[in-house]
Amino acid sequence: MPAGRALGGSELLEDGSLVGRLLRHWRRREPVRQLRGVDGRWIASDELEQMTRDRAMRLAASGLVPGERFLLSAGSSADLVITYIAALRAGLVVVPINPAYTEAEVQRIVRAAAPAAAAVDDDECARWINVVAPDIAVLGIDVALRNATAEQTIDQVGSDDPAVLLYTSGTTGVPKGALLTHGNLLASATAVGLAWRWEPDDQLLLTLPLFHLHGLGVGLNGTLCAGAAVELRAGFEVADVVEHCGHGPTLFFGVPAMYQRLAASGRAGALAPLRLLVSGSAPLPAALATEIARRTGQIPLERYGMTETVMLTSNPYDGPRRPGTVGVPLPGVGVRLDGAGEVQVTGPNVIAGYVQNPAATAEAFTADGWFRTGDIGELDEHGYLRLVGRSKELIITGGYNVHPREVEEAIATHPGVEEVAVVGRPSDLWGEEVTAVVVAGRPLDTEELRAHAALTLAPYKVPKRIEFTDALPRNALGKLVRREL
């Protein structure tokens, strides 16, 4: 049963690309404060244009050509934003990497992406990259290259040109490269701007990381497309958010764990001056939504998106916000449920396929071209979408994707582990909690196993809970019956 809101793609793709939208804002408006770094310094829009242009020209002068891949790994900072925009202006394909990734995780992405260059803020990460890609230049996040000696060609990207390559775990646990075009990013940023009434005088307090699509594709891109301002923070801390909410911000985007911490601190009321609170990346418990509303006067607007599609649905800005649902389709997005209840989507925000992976692409799309999300949903009588489960084994914890097999393989290398199965358990704080069920050959300590897993896994992949059992449930063919866990 399909549901959707009609809107021509031409409206969503006006200006052709993120770069085109930015250039229009920069050229037609008087300079305004646009980017505030974690150091507290504001960068005006005309300064941001100049900084990103200079850096884009240096990248082009270094020999990098449009379409080549450019790794970015750094904590949130003004330099990271400038380098990101500069790479897009130079026509490069940005490959974000979580700074918390271990050596094995970084090198897996480097091998898959085959980048032409990288910019990082950590010397150890630079060494890891050069182990598997010794011939590429690994720069600092400020891209301290020589200045361009002549005018370089930049700002030539169009809607079909690749912009960002993000790696996500598939049903086999093998990383799949989701290649988002400038059109995908622009269409989604424009859609949320329309739906959330994003205006140039808005200011977003952004505590989300910029290696993830929530912070990068929604927070930063949405701000830039609206011609608005963004204030970066190094991360989420209750006291820091409380301190900054009363001094300019009008928007706050968070994951349920952030709202939970604010509510538990008794200081969620500090968000009351903001005109819009948004929650995403994991289900927002209805009780928590109600508690935040009691403290702030508004229910956080819950929305739904994926790496492969950016944003899909949202509770309305003006209409009823229904806790427990992810709302209605955003402008330009089509949503339908198949006979099994799987959510399928279409729109200019959806990728065309996975990089060099025709099998995964064929599996991900229906015969008539709709993207299979792997989520099971239902539509209520008002047309609001409610997500009730997943058709795949992928675990989403705190907004991050974790594939059980990757975690199982890490734990299984411990000499005391005979068997292990990993599942996602429901969690009010994380959406799902990574849980490992272990058959041990000798007495083991849970913290010992967690420390072992942390040697090769990013912190969010390390099981938050470890349980022991005498045997894992298996069917007559010996296959693991994961649902029984």
Q: pLDDT over 90 for what percent of the chain?
A: 77
Residues 332, 349: Cα–Cα separation, whole Å: 8
Write the pLDDT tens digit of every residue in 151-165. 789 999 999 999 999
Question: In which element (H, E) is residue 365 found?
Answer: none
Give me the long-range contacts of 270-275 (CB less than 8 A, separation at least 24). Answer: 270/241, 270/242, 270/245, 270/246, 271/241, 271/245, 271/295, 271/296, 272/296, 272/297, 273/245, 273/246, 274/205, 274/245, 274/249, 274/250, 275/202, 275/250, 275/251
CA 19 to chain centre: 20
Name the residue among 447, 15, 448 with its Cα closest to residue 227.
Answer: 15
Q: Does the pLDDT value for residue 6 go beyond 80?
A: no
pLDDT score of 231:
98
Write the pLDDT tens digit of every residue in 215-231. 999 999 999 999 999 99
What is the residue range of 33's domain? Answer: 18-157
Q: What CATH number did the domain enclosing 280 receive?
A: 3.40.50.12780
pLDDT score of 16:
94
| Same domain membership, residue 308 and residue 229 | yes
CB-facing half-sphere around the CA of 398: CA atoms within 13 A: 17
Q: What CATH number did the domain enclosing 449 receive?
A: 3.30.300.30
pLDDT score of 145:
81
pLDDT score of 475:
59
| Same domain membership, residue 214 and residue 296 | yes
Does residue 432 form part of some domain? yes
Does residue 171 form part of some domain? no
| Same domain membership, residue 324 and residue 205 | yes
Which residues, in sequence order, are CB contacts of 351 under 8 Å at separation 6+?
Answer: 178, 179, 180, 181, 184, 308, 309, 371
Residues 308, 363: Cα–Cα separation, whole Å: 14
| Same domain membership, residue 230 and residue 331 | yes
Write the pLDDT tens digit of every residue in 127-141. 999 999 999 999 999
Q: Which residue has the higher pLDDT, 311 or 399?
A: 311
Give how many domains the chain has, as a whole number: 3
| Same domain membership, residue 146 and residue 204 | no
**Separation of first and last alpha carbons in the chain:** 32
Strands 251-254 and 42-44: unpaired
Residues 485, 420: Cα–Cα separation, whole Å: 11
Predicted TM-score of the model (pTM): 0.86
> Any bridge partners for residue 71, and if so which?
95, 118
Out of 157, 174, 207, a domain closes at: 157
Residues 53, 35: Cα–Cα separation, whole Å: 16
